[in-house]
Amino acid sequence: MTQTSQPGPVPSAADLSAAGFPGPIERPRRLRSGAAMRSLVREHTLRPADLVLPMFVREGASENRPIGSMPGVVQHTMDSLVRAAIEAVERGVGGVMLFGVPERKDAVGSGATDPEGILNLALARLRSELGDATVIMADLCLDEFTDHGHCGVLDGAGRVDNDATLMRYREMALAQAEAGAHLLGPSGMMDGQIAAIRDALDAAGHLDVALYAYTAKYASSFYGPFREAVDSSLQGDRRSYQQDPANGREALRELALDVAEGADLVMVKPGLPYLDVLKEVAQASPVPVGAYQVSGEYAMIEAASANGWIDRDRTVLESLLAFRRAGASTVLTYYASEVAGWYRDGLPAHLREFL
């Protein structure tokens, strides 16, 4: 029988030195030696004010409707929307982004510009309840309101008509500004949308309403759960106007255009699959840069944690920190209110490295 040799004692630093081994010239581990040292040299941190909470409000709802692919996220009633928004603001989030789910849709998305449409009513209600205590943001896009599910109006051949859509965006921007939104998020990826909206707002005297450009919004499979969240009617796909996932340089071209047209902030969407794009945009941008941790990213974390494969809370914070490290000053995330509550109440011991 072959005998297995037993390892000898682990040599000490003195033993190694005596044997002529000088040891590493540099020791980066010194700066990782304990929690206090790691905290002292930490490069990036999270704050509740960095986080924006996307919220869905459903027209005619008498009770919240859970979204199956996004556990913990719901289509709100008007009253529950207000309660959840107030709670998020009390926890310290930087803002809320509203999406409307209408009962009726048509080819031009009439509900998007109707002052009595669900999104505009919700904006007015939140502005009345919250005033300027937080940044009230509105998704400026037609997809939730059109019966074909596209982000714009269609021409005779069934293609999204860019310039006709810009006219609808101008009308939608005015409706949202007049309802009380502080900031509008044009997410349709139409050419010239920032310039068209800025012109309409300024002409109507809404000089202080800011624009958060969805500068690099990719045609991504990570949006799947969101389409359930807004009861999407999409027919076909959006690859003719959203960015190709294979392209990176194109985002910098879009950035230059959005900034020149008057964007106050810019965004990369989705988040984690496009951290390389986020970093390049952040390095080049003269205005604040954000990222959107989209529905598919949220759903993956929830599914993996439900199966016991990952530590949910640590994964949530690690993913948000990744956006900050890549250059995002603002992160839209469905975890915003929950995470802000953790910081307000004091992170448990196993999460304190994220302070």
Instruction: Check 168, 182, 206, 269 and give the catalytic one.
Output: 269
Sign of CA dihedral 120, 140, 135, 68: positive
Is 269 one of the catalytic residues?
yes
Residues 202, 208, 214, 216, CA torsion sign:
positive
State the Cα angle at 113 between 109 and 118, rounded to 5°.
Answer: 85
Distance of CA 173 to the CA centre of its chain: 20
Q: State the residue for tokens 């986020």.
A: 278
Is-catalytic flag, 105? no
Q: Kind and range of the H or E element at 177?
A: helix 162-179
Phi-psi label, residue 146: left if phi above 0, alpha if psi -120 to 50, beta otherwise:
beta
CA 206 to chain centre: 25
Please say whether the beta carbons of 297 and 271 come within 8 A: yes
Phi, psi of 233 (to 5 degrees): -105, 20
Quick check: 94 and 48 in contact, CB under 8 A?
Answer: yes
Which one-letter DSSP state was computed for residue 106? B
Choice among 217, 259, 290, 328 that is catalytic: 217
96 Cβ contact list (under 8 Å, min separation 6): 52, 53, 54, 55, 85, 88, 89, 126, 134, 135, 136, 137
Strand, coil or helix: what is 309?
coil
Provide the annotated active-site residues. 217, 269
